[in-house]
Amino acid sequence: MIEARHLSKWYGRRQAVGDLSFTVAPGNVTGFLGPNGAGKSTTMRLLLGLDRPDEGEARIGGRPYRDFRFPLRTAGAMLEAQAVHPGRSARNHLRCLAQTHGLPSRRVDEVIALTGLASVARKRVGGFSLGMRQRLGIAAALLGDPQVLLLDEPVNGLDPEGVLWVRTLMKRLAAEGRTVLVSSHLMNEMAVTADHLIVIGRGRLLADCPIAEFTKGASLEQAFMELTAGSLEYGDHYPQGSIA
């Protein structure tokens, strides 16, 4: 269960997220959609306690993320594939995260095998392709066997086989009763993956409903374009005087 209650966040004079409230239920893959700059990544960062909201609060499993002593047991997240020291091997990266929670190295090897990284696990991440880094990010998210997963653009840079793998994995995790929130730009991918949609534009909630209700028979892309048509003028994101 993920809850956002009246979340607002400003960066300088620019409001990235405004009065955003939604709940993500377990058992579904929930797609998190919005145009570039809509505030998807900011919302993810607020949910995970990386940034502090100016107003409102975010809870995961009933508690603010920062209150967890061992958060990886409850929530796993992949924010961006770049959150890794390039000089460290994939296995050591996962090991140092696992050790904070007292997880055995057996678990590290399990997620390495699960994400298909076994042959490169002892290589330095600096030499990884974007797709391999995405897999490493997903491996890190799965370390603590969490009930809640937040994945920001997980299929970026993956080959078709990788895309299929992520889709299957997310559906399986949801079928196991976990809460899965996944952001993406790729409408066709979302159309075949998500059960439920949360759409934001300019930091505000535009839609929160099952995918069938959202598309009403049209394609997801069409429905999305119509809904977000008013949120695409970038000039409006930035009040005068701020640096865009």
Q: Which is nearer to another protein, 103 or 220 (CB)?
A: 103
DSSP characters over 76-123: EEE--TT-S-TTSBHHHHHHHHHHTTT--HHHHHHHHHHTT-GGGTTS
According to the binding rule CB under 8 A, does residue 52 interact with another protein? yes
Q: Which of 69, 216, 235, 244 touches another protein (CB under 8 A)?
A: 69
For 146, list phi and psi in degrees, rounded to 5.
-80, 155
In the block, residue with structure tokens 């119509």: 226
Where does this chain touch another protein (CB under 8 A) — which range of 90-98, 198-206, 217-225, 226-234?
Answer: 90-98
Q: Within a 13 Å sphere around the CA of 11, how many CA atoms are in the beta-carbon half?
A: 14
According to the binding rule CB under 8 A, does residue 39 interact with another protein? no
Where does this chain touch another protein (CB under 8 A) — which range of 23-31, 100-108, 192-200, 202-210?
Answer: 100-108
Q: Which three-class secondary structure state does DSSP give residue 242?
A: coil
According to the binding rule CB under 8 A, does residue 87 interact with another protein? yes
Indicate the helix (H) or strand (E) that contains 5. strand 2-11
Q: Which of 32, 65, 128, 224 touches another protein (CB under 8 A)?
A: 65
Tokens in use for 1?
């269960």
Q: Which of 73, 123, 185, 204 touches another protein (CB under 8 A)?
A: 73
**Contact positions with another protein (CB under 8 A) in 180-219:** none
Tokens in use for 55?
């107003």
Q: Which of 12, 70, 129, 239 touches another protein (CB under 8 A)?
A: 70
According to the binding rule CB under 8 A, does residue 123 interact with another protein? no
Q: How far is the CB of 172 from another protein (least distance, A)?
A: 8
What Cα–Cα distance (Å) separates residue 176 from each residue in 172, 179, 197, 215? 6, 9, 19, 26
Interface with another protein (CB under 8 A): 45, 48-52, 63, 65-74, 77, 79-80, 82-89, 92-93, 95-97, 99-104, 107, 110, 140, 142, 144-145, 173, 176
